[in-house]
């Protein structure tokens, strides 16, 4: 867990050098992702994730042909890891649940006892050490069986995700008060489908990424609404999404418009549907992709539209 130490140290250095105080209630922590730390890729009834498959099938696409087969071995060393986190004095530990470890078929027909036990142990021991668990439901490791059905480009994927989220909320929601639905949809959709450099390794720029974008927004929203309807009154937790924001500034005044377009593409795509008053895609992006699609002779936009109902589902109440 050296990475955890580095994160905490750099934050303290920033605080000192900046000469400013963090506001009261500001909490420090560390974060990981299941595939990056757990290892134990083939233990018990766990099924393959798209990263297991990708790393084993395309070793040439990964630096040094590394895999997460063992990683930090946190599946076996979780107790030591929590001790280290406790010594560091972190207030929270963010980790992700491996979907194929908890639900090996990808669906809620069968819950892995070992998967359940692992995450219960982790959560309970963190709480004993007064470390708040912050749980990410999806950090890039889709069950490969769902990928074989199209993964994030299958329109049913938002329901598959929502059903998985419901299982996690009902198993762990009594103790987990901070939930993250998706980690960085820009990575899941745009970096993955535009470059093929990440699992699932398909290259479908301007098509696959946009279909994925829409499904990811719906997946987030459906999980969020399920928490609202079925769990919030009992558990009173918070549910959000992690967006990676690539911020771009114009170099000259002449580039202001281009910079704004770029920001809308890199950040607005995942923020506008949720946080804007009108909801839906950023209008400028929707217009540009529709025009380009039209010029290419397509009778529709490559960016799938939201229905009115979907806009409402995804949008907050602001
Ligand atoms: C699991 O994978 C490891 C390599 O990471 C291998 O040595 C081991 O035999 C595998 N176990 C099973 C049960 O397939």
pLDDT digits (tens, 9 = 90+) for 74-85: 999 999 999 999
Decide: 56 in ligand 1 pocket, CB within 6 A. no
The H-or-E segment that residue 179 falls in is strand 178-183
Give the Å distance between the CA of 42 and the centre of ligand 1: 6
Spatial CA neighbour of 4 closest among 37, 30, 28, 27: 30
- Write down the H helix ranges in 39-94: 50-57, 74-88
pLDDT of the residue at 316: 81
Three-state SS at 100? helix
pLDDT in tens, 288-300: 999 999 999 999 9
CA of 43 to the centre of ligand 1 (A): 8
Q: Is the CB of 308 under 6 A from ligand 1?
A: no
- Distance CA(126)–CA(122), nearest Å, equals 6
Residue 165 near residue 223 (C-beta atoms within 8 A): yes
69 CA closest ligand 1 atom index: 5
DSSP 237: -
State in Å: Cα 106 to ligand 1 middle. Answer: 22
Give the position, in ligand 1's atom list, of the atom nearest the Cα of 70: 5
Residues β-bridged to residue 30? 93
Q: What is the dihedral of CA 127, 128, 130, 134, to 10 degrees?
A: -20
Tell me which residue has its CA closest to atom 5 in ligand 1.
69
Instruction: Report how far ligand 1's centroid is from the alpha carbon of 52 (Å).
Output: 12
Return the residue whose CA atom lies nearest to atom 14 of ligand 1: 42
Distances (CA, A) of 210 to 221, 229, 263, 273: 17, 29, 16, 14
- Which parts of the chain fold into alpha helices (H)? 2-18, 34-37, 50-57, 74-88, 99-102, 113-128, 144-147, 157-172, 185, 192-195, 208-226, 232-235, 256-263, 269-275, 283-295, 308-314
Nearest CA to ligand 1 atom 12: 42
For the CA of 67, the closest atom of ligand 1 is 5
Q: What is the pLDDT of residue 2?
A: 38
Ligand 1 in contact with 69 (CB < 6 A)?
yes
Find the 26 Cα to ligand 1 centroid distance in Å. 42
Angstrom distance (rounded) from CA 203 to CA 186? 15
If you measure from the C-alpha of residue 81 to the centroid of ligand 1, how many angstroms do you get, rounded to a whole number?
23
Give the Cα separation of 249 and 232 in Å (integer).
Answer: 39
Show the low-confidence residues of the chain (pLDDT under 70): 1-19, 318
pLDDT of residue 20: 80
**How many A from CA of 78 to the centre of ligand 1?**
20
Helix (H) / strand (E) element for 134: namely strand 132-138
Q: Which residues pair with 132 in a beta bridge?
A: 92
Q: Contact, 214 vs 272, CB < 8 A?
A: no
Q: Which of 39, 42, 49 to mutate to test the pocket of ligand 1 (most atoms within 8 A of CB)?
A: 42
* Size (the chain), residues: 318
Angle (CA) 147 184 7, round 5°: 125
Measured between alpha carbons, how far is 270 from 182 in angstroms, rounded to an integer?
11
> By alpha-carbon position, which residue is closest to atom 8 of ligand 1?
42
* Å from CA of 66 to ligand 1 middle: 16
| Torsion on CA atoms 199, 201, 203, 208, rounded to nearest 10 | -40
């Amino acid at each position: 867990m050296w990475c955890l130490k580095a994160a905490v140290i750099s934050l303290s250095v920033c605080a000192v050098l900046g000469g400013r105080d963090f506001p009261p209630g500001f909490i420090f922590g560390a974060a990981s992702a299941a595939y990056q730390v757990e290892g134990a890729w083939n233990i018990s009834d766990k099924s393959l994730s798209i990263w297991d498959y990708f790393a084993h099938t395309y070793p040439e696409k990964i630096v040094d042909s590394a895999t997460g087969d063992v990683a930090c071995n946190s599946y076996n060393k979780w107790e030591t890891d929590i001790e280290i986190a406790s010594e560091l004095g972190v207030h929270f530990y963010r980790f992700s649940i491996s979907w194929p470890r908890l639900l090996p078929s990808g669906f809620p027909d069968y819950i892995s006892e070992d998967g359940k036990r692992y995450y219960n142990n982790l959560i309970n021991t963190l709480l004993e050490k007064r470390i708040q668990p912050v749980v990410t439901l999806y950090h890039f490791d889709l069950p490969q069986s769902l990928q074989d059905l199209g993964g994030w480009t299958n329109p049913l994927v938002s329901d598959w995700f929502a059903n998985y989220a419901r299982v996690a909320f009902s198993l762990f929601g009594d103790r987990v008060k901070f939930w993250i639905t998706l980690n960085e949809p820009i990575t899941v959709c745009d970096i993955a489908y535009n470059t093929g450099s990440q699992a699932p390794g398909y290259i479908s720029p301007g098509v696959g990424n946009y279909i994925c974008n829409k499904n990811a927004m719906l997946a987030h929203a459906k999980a969020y609404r399920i928490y609202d309807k079925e769990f919030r009154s009992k558990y009173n937790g918070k549910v959000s999404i992690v967006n990676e924001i690539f911020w771009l500034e114009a170099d000259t005044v002449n580039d202001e418009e281009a910079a704004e377009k770029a920001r809308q593409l890199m950040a607005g795509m995942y923020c506008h549907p949720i946080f804007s008053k009108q909801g839906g895609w950023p209008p400028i992006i929707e217009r540009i992709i529709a025009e380009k699609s039209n010029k290419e002779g397509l009778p529709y936009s490559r960016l799938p539209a939201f229905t009115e109902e979907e806009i409402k589902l995804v949008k907050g109440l602001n």
